[in-house]
A and B are shown apart, each in its own frame.
Chain A
Amino acid sequence: MRGELSPGAKVAIYGLMSVLLIPFVFPTWWMITSSVKPISDIFAFPPDLIPRRVDFSTYAKVFELQPFARQYWNSAYIAAVVTAGTMLFSSMAGYAFARIRFPFANALFMVVLLGLLIPSEVTIVPLFQMFLAWDMINTHWPLILVPIFGAPSVFATFVMRQFFIALPAELEEAARVDGLGRFKIFWTIALPLARPALAAVGIFTFLHSWNLYLEPIVFLSSPEMFTLPQALTQYTDAYGGAMWNIQLAAATLTAVPVLIVFIIAQKQFVEGLAHTGLKG
């Protein structure tokens, strides 16, 4: 419907979009500004869109009350390992299902797709028992193994398969004539060409791991093992009430780095996600 718009229509669209933008942008703004307000100003009326007084001491408290740096590291390295692992194993499986003919390939693909029907919430009870039996409770193993190999990776495999199906077969045949075996074809031809799909899978996987909440609170029990989402909710006073400014400061520290990366690379982010096998 990309016809020419009249000036009036343009103004109307800009206006509508700007109003719609408020609930998307204001919370982030409010989080950042409130995190540097002294506690007495946090619920001030009328509300201050720009802080009257700035107090950075809340940020120090974030690190005093919990091993926040450690928790930050936990989240970051878990997300990194999960992302790298998922990208590797999902692209391998997606490649094989798309490009290699082997007996029972379709049946096995159906088995893998079952993972889409069985989100990890369904299996959380037995997973807890399994990791208990393996002595892995209060370790990071469940948060690494289940996303890389379990249900969350199926979506990644599916996206990669869709991408590889569309890759011209002649490229691989040329590579075979040029002397490459299957693994080298995958590594030097297919994978470099799959960069857009890999980027999308990487972003999804990272965000999924970064946002995990149910699994950490089920599997982890000591603060130095916690991940960020879990840690954020722990800034409460003796009565269980939220210590708002500290919580918001910790939330800001959690959210802002990813936001900055996103704004720098927004084109790759948005278009990468849009141009995967998801287009339908």
Chain B
Amino acid sequence: MSTVAANGTPAKERKVARKRPFWTMERRDSLAGYLFIAPQLAGIITFVLIPLGLVFWYSMHEWNVLGARFNYVGSRNYEQLLSDPALLEVLGATGIFSAGLVVFNLSLALLLAVLLDQKLKGITVYRTLFFSPVVVSLVAWTIVWRFLLQNNGGINSILLLTGVEGPNWLRNPTTAMISVIVVQVFKNVGLNMVLFLAALQGVPRELYEAARVDGAPRFKQFRRITLPMISPTILLTSIITIVGSLQVFAQIAVLTQGGPGMSTTVLVYYLYQQAFQFHRFGYGSTLSILLFVIVAVLTFVQWQMRRRLVFYER
């Protein structure tokens, strides 16, 4: 047994300079890392970043496929965008749709989650049923609602049984917008509901017990404990829901085709119409840029709000 003192010399004097192999452990691991992300990264570059660049490029061109024209026009599409009389209507519809959707979706999701968080028999059955529209094919769901919302459809028939004459839902600007929002909320609120439910169940029981010992009534417990504790989930779901609301297309296409008039023509639908129905790819690209900017700004703003609104982060 050879013992070496703390500051002593090693027992064997050996040459330390050795040739290190090129493929050290770190290098091999780095290579593995690059190989693992390669498919995804290549995909993002090909199907997201290059197309994004192309959208900018196209947006500076007048491009009519039917006329086979592709002319550089600089900022003219953007000038047209600003003077487009439809734009205000489209943005208005988009704003009302997104705001209505987020408010209705989040509050309903939270209400359902709180109800499902109770210890009651058969609660899983309710949970399953509330969630079920999420797995129903989107277009199938929308078709049924369109059927229900016909002037002589199921909803008005039921209203008539109670003596109320319902409106022609999809033919009136206000009720059409309400319909589009409501149909979309019932379809997808289950997702947010489940996320809220998981968050509620993650709140430590002791906090409620402490609050009860302190004599806080239930509604106060909800406001002072539950809401702050689940605020990260509220933020997350609101980001997902807002960004998701800007992508809603199928529901509008099937339910209202943007009508009546332009009352439910949201930005994505307008973009689709301009590019693929009127074949104005240049202007469609300009609308794409507008959509991108809106999504980016909203995400950024919400991310910034995190600091002020989220009381608690893991």
Interface residues of chain A, those whose CB is within 8 Å of chain B, are 1-3, 5, 10, 13-14, 16-17, 20-21, 23-25, 27-28, 30-31, 34, 43, 45-47, 89-90, 92-93, 95-97, 100-103, 105, 108, 111-112, 114-130, 145-146, 148-151, 153-154, 157, 181-183, 186, 207, 210-211, 213-214, 217-218, 228-230, 232-233, 242, 244, 247-248, 251-252, 254-255, 258-259, 261-263, 266-267, 269-270, 273-275, 278-280
- Distance A13 CA – B218 CA, assembled complex (angstroms): 15
Say which one of B12-20, B42-50, B75-83, B88-96 lies at the interface with A.
B42-50
Q: A28-B133, A102-B34, A151-B44 are in contact. List 20 more A-B contacts (CB 8 A).
A: A17-B126, A28-B136, A28-B144, A43-B150, A116-B243, A116-B299, A121-B246, A122-B291, A123-B288, A130-B50, A154-B44, A183-B32, A186-B36, A217-B276, A229-B137, A229-B138, A242-B143, A255-B137, A279-B198, A280-B230
Which residues of A sit under 8 angstroms from B157, Cβ to Cβ?
A: 43, 45-47
- Distance A245 CA – B127 CA, assembled complex (angstroms): 30
B97 close to chain A: CB less than 8 A: no
Say which one of B3-11, B166-174, B232-240 lies at the interface with A.
B232-240
- Distance A241 CA – B271 CA, assembled complex (angstroms): 25
B99 close to chain A: CB less than 8 A: no
- Distance A255 CA – B33 CA, assembled complex (angstroms): 40
Which residues of B sit under 8 angstroms from A31, Cβ to Cβ?
A: 140, 143-144, 147
Which residues of B sit under 8 angstroms from A43, Cβ to Cβ?
A: 150, 152-153, 157
Tell me the nearest residue of chain B to A111, going by C-beta: B44
Q: A126-B55, A232-B139, A279-B202 are contacts. A102–B33 as well, Cβ < 8 Å?
A: yes
Q: Which residues 229-258 in B have Cβ within 8 Å of A in the complex?
A: 230, 232-233, 235-236, 243, 246-247, 249-250, 253-254
Q: Which residues 197-224 in B have Cβ within 8 Å of A in the complex?
A: 197-200, 202, 205, 208, 212, 218, 221-222
Q: Are B236 and A280 in contact (CB under 8 A)?
A: yes
Q: Are B195 and A279 in contact (CB under 8 A)?
A: yes
Which residues of B sit under 8 angstroms from A25, Cβ to Cβ?
A: 129, 132
Q: How many chain B residues touch A (Cβ–Cβ < 8 Å)?
A: 112
Q: Are A125 and B55 in contact (CB under 8 A)?
A: yes
Q: Beta-carbon contacts of B100-137 to A below 8 Å, as 1s and 0s?
A: 00000000000110111111100010111111111111
Q: A102-B29, A123-B55, A151-B48 are contacts. A17–B299 as well, Cβ < 8 Å?
A: no
Q: A103-B30, A146-B47, A248-B147 are contacts. A24–B133 as well, Cβ < 8 Å?
A: yes
Which residues of B sit under 8 angstroms from A248, Cβ to Cβ?
A: 143-144, 147
Which residues of A sit under 8 angstroms from B64, Cβ to Cβ?
A: none
Q: Are A93 and B140 in contact (CB under 8 A)?
A: no
Which residues of B sit under 8 angstroms from A274, Cβ to Cβ?
A: 194-195, 197-198
Q: Are B295 and A117 in contact (CB under 8 A)?
A: yes
Which residues of B sit under 8 angstroms from A181, Cβ to Cβ?
A: 32
Which residues of B sit under 8 angstroms from A153, Cβ to Cβ?
A: 40, 43
Q: What 5 pairs across the A-B complex have the smallest Cβ distances?
A: A149-B43, A150-B47, A213-B250, A96-B36, A102-B33
- Distance A3 CA – B276 CA, assembled complex (angstroms): 56
